[in-house]
Amino acid sequence: MEIFITGIGTEVGKTVCSAILTAYYKADYWKPVQSGDLHYTDSMKIREWAGEDVILHPETYRLQRAASPHQSAAEEGLSIRLSDFRLPETSHPLVIEGAGGLMVPLSDDALMIDLIAELNIPVALVIRNYLGCINHTLLSMAALAQCQIPIKHLILNGSFPPDTERIILHHTAKETSIIRIPDMENPDRESINNTAKKIIIENYEY
């Protein structure tokens, strides 16, 4: 089982959700591109939150600047190429976490959604409630559908007004399952693993 964790934008909780799914599936973890925060990377957070026994596969690109990957790479004289990425070999489930949203540029010619298509694996789309999240969610779903990338899970991260949730779920494909994650302001290993044990993967009743 392989799944790519992406979001409808930045700061929607992809890493927390990745840690929970890593614990839930007892999976390995891979962050293909780490852009900035090399002193405390997302891989480091996963190990801290999901457990010391989690297998972390090395990033393909580790970039110094906390910016869009194409900018960070350019400042180091690099150009990110899709052909540089190879799925890690493992006999375990694998959770892969992207950077930002689907249209984050990796280079002048490639976006994050192109990397997902290149890897040819389904996604878990992380949503958080804010003004505009319906628009961003439906646009993300449309982009994934256009690229024929299946959405395995829709992750509702935090609480949502009923009217917002209803519209989002109404536009969610029937084959996509729903995962609800409670608000976690200060995640730690205990809260991540307790949440992973309580996950219910459900199908929306249309």
Residue of 31, 45, 152, 174 marked catalytic: 31
Beta carbons of 6 and 152 less than 8 angstroms apart: no
Q: Is 13 annotated as a binding residue?
A: yes
Query: 69-98: buried (b, 16+ CB within 10 Å) or exposed (e) per residue?
Result: bbebbbeeeeebeeeebeebeeeebbbbbb
45 is catalytic: no
Q: Is 41 annotated as a binding residue?
A: no
Distance of CA 123 to the CA centre of its chain: 8
Please name the helix (run of DSSP H) or strand (run of DSSP E) that holds residue 70, with its range, or none: helix 69-75
Q: Is 99 annotated as a binding residue?
A: yes
Query: 130-154: buried (b, 16+ CB within 10 Å) or exposed (e) per residue?
Result: eeebbebbeebbeebeeeebebbbb
Q: Is 97 annotated as a binding residue?
A: yes
Q: Is 18 annotated as a binding residue?
A: no
Residue 29 CA to residue 16 CA, distance in Å, equals 12
Q: Is 35 annotated as a binding residue?
A: yes
Q: Is 175 annotated as a binding residue?
A: no
Q: Is 83 annotated as a binding residue?
A: no
Q: Is 132 annotated as a binding residue?
A: no
Q: Is 15 annotated as a binding residue?
A: yes
Among residues 203, 198, 179, 200, which one has the least CA distance to residue 17? 179
Question: Reduced to 3 states, what is the DSSP secondary structure of residue 195?
Answer: helix
Residue 196 CA to residue 198 CA, distance in Å, equals 5
Distance of CA 67 to the CA centre of its chain: 17
Please name the helix (run of DSSP H) or strand (run of DSSP E) that holds residue 5, with its range, or none: strand 2-7
Residue ranges for the binding site for ATP?
A: 11-16, 42, 97-100
Q: Which residues are catalytic?
A: 31
Residue ranges for the binding site?
A: 11-16, 35, 42, 97-100
